[in-house]
């Protein structure tokens, strides 16, 4: 299992400086933003534009994710331990049980296979 890490990415630094507005303005409108494996512990990410962001293996312990739309993001392998997720949208390949296990116990999110 990968360990969460601080990323050397200008958009990641904006998030860690609580500049969600700056992140949304500077995020490219097309293509993927690779924030995989990033450490987002305790951050308030409300109002973040998550479309096209790769959060694979990211660590969101205690983060405020309320109202985020992850439907067009990659979050497989991410951990949501004790994160606030009220009103958040998740990819359809994630079951409610999988999300709750991650929030309650910190398990890594696994997409269901078809």
Judged by DSSP in three states, 25 sits in helix
Phi-psi region of 62 (alpha: psi -120 to 50; beta: other; left: phi over 0): left
CB 88 within 8 A of CB 50: no
CB 57 within 8 A of CB 108: yes
Instruction: Flag whether pLDDT at 1 surpasses 60.
Output: no
Query: What digits encode the pLDDT tens for the residues 7-29?
Result: 999 999 999 999 999 999 999 99
* Residue 114: per-residue pLDDT: 61
Chain mean pLDDT for the chain: 95
Query: What digits encode the pLDDT tens for the residues 50-72?
Result: 999 999 999 999 999 999 999 99
Instruction: Flag whether pLDDT at 102 surpasses 80.
Output: yes
| φ, ψ (nearest 5 deg) of residue 99 | -65, -45
**For range 92-106, the mean pLDDT:** 96
Instruction: Flag whether pLDDT at 3 surpasses 80.
Output: no
Among 94, 113, 112, CA closest to 102:
94
Locate tokens 């116990």: which residue?
Answer: 105
pTM for the whole structure = 0.93
CB 67 within 8 A of CB 37: no
């Amino acid at each position: 299992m990968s360990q969460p890490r601080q990323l050397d990415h200008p958009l990641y630094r904006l998030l860690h400086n609580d500049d969600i507005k700056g992140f949304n303005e500077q995020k490219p409108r097309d293509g993927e933003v690779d924030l995989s494996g990033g450490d987002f512990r305790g951050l308030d990410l409300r109002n973040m534009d998550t479309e096209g962001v790769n959060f694979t293996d990211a660590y969101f312990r205690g983060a405020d994710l309320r109202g985020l739309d992850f439907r067009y993001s990659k979050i497989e392998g991410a951990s949501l331990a004790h994160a606030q997720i009220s009103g958040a949208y998740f990819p359809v390949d994630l079951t409610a049980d999988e999300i709750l296990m991650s929030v309650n116990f910190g398990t890594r999110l696994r997409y269901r296979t078809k």
